[in-house]
A = this chain, B = another copy of it.
């Protein structure tokens, strides 16, 4: 694991005088709070780095334009319009993206893309109301069982998506991208211990697995469990899914493939509240609620701008940073590439074990401090 250090400028002077600010704080302490890591940390780190540069009398080595997007968790419905409407004002040579965590090895990391995203909620319709399962079980269809079978037919428990043709459009990794993945420090054994899991899906390792499209079941609800369970056939089952898309896949094409699979598997697509005639006419009824979704982006790691970012990050960190061809998570950075056609590089700072999107989200102090250093060095030293 890299030794903690402060970023230094060409002069050798530290960007920030940590002795003064850090005082007795243990760098392993964490700040807990909603959005502490995702995504308040990168905003605060950027502002702190900017202030520190200013206080030190240094001018940035490059012109800086700042875009803060507040709707990313809601699918960024207005970002495309904002970027397009302000295209001239936002024109630049490179985009650096602050979202996401660093590598699970705790090394500083750069990412050159992100998977796309598409959500889907399925409602499997059973009887109009719950039925006594002694009198009618084995005869009246059980939507919880139908939902289970549907999931098992869409995806195996090694992460492979079984929907026909799902991988057809996926752009393969380049040799450079495969080499970058192979060069990443192994993290799987540590993560298994952290997560308390006795196996992984697939045997390719974390990063290779997350280069592929994913079908994640986020939740299932049907009937009742625990003390509330009654001997009843549930009236419906709900499955919440998010797809992670790989480069080459478009949300509309994924949607068509899923719907074609459902039709081929004997399912009829239903409205939110199918009427009696519809229910009687179709043996397997499912309602679909699609999110908007957006595609993935994986950019060229070999451009001069990209190489300059890697060099500056290596220098700030004091070791070769982890270079990820694409992040498994989704941020709509395809938009920057679409609108501006310039390199887009992710420069995350927060700890990977930050519990983002879950209870007890946190920010490790050392990541915050290292992040401020990295941002400061990037602003001060980037050139190509």
Contact = CB atoms under 8 A, between A and B. Distances in A.
Interface of A: 101, 115, 117, 119, 121, 126-142, 144-152, 155-157, 159, 191-202, 205-206, 209-210, 212, 214, 216-226, 228-234, 237-240, 242, 244, 276, 279-285, 327-330, 352, 355-360
Given A210-B139, A242-B133, A196 B329 contact: no
Contacts of A146: 157
Given A127-B195, A210-B138, A240 B229 contact: yes
30 contacts: A127-B195, A128-B195, A129-B195, A132-B356, A133-B218, A137-B159, A138-B159, A138-B202, A138-B212, A139-B201, A139-B206, A139-B210, A141-B200, A141-B201, A144-B218, A145-B157, A148-B152, A198-B283, A218-B230, A218-B231, A219-B229, A219-B234, A220-B222, A224-B240, A225-B238, A225-B240, A230-B358, A231-B242, A231-B329, A231-B357
Contact of A285 (B198, B230, B231): B198
Contact of A135 (B150, B210, B237): B210
Q: Which of A280, A283, A327 has the most CB of B within 10 A?
A: A280
Given A146-B157, A148-B220, A137 B229 contact: no
As for how many copies of this chain the complex holds, the number is 2
A242 B132 CA distance: 11
Contact of A358 (B126, B129, B199, B201): B129
A216 B133 contact: yes
Contact of A209 (B139, B194, B198, B239): B139
A297 to B, nearest CB: 14
Contacts of A285: 198
Nearest to A219: B223
A225 B244 contact: no
B132 A159 contact: no
Contacts of A144: 151, 217-220
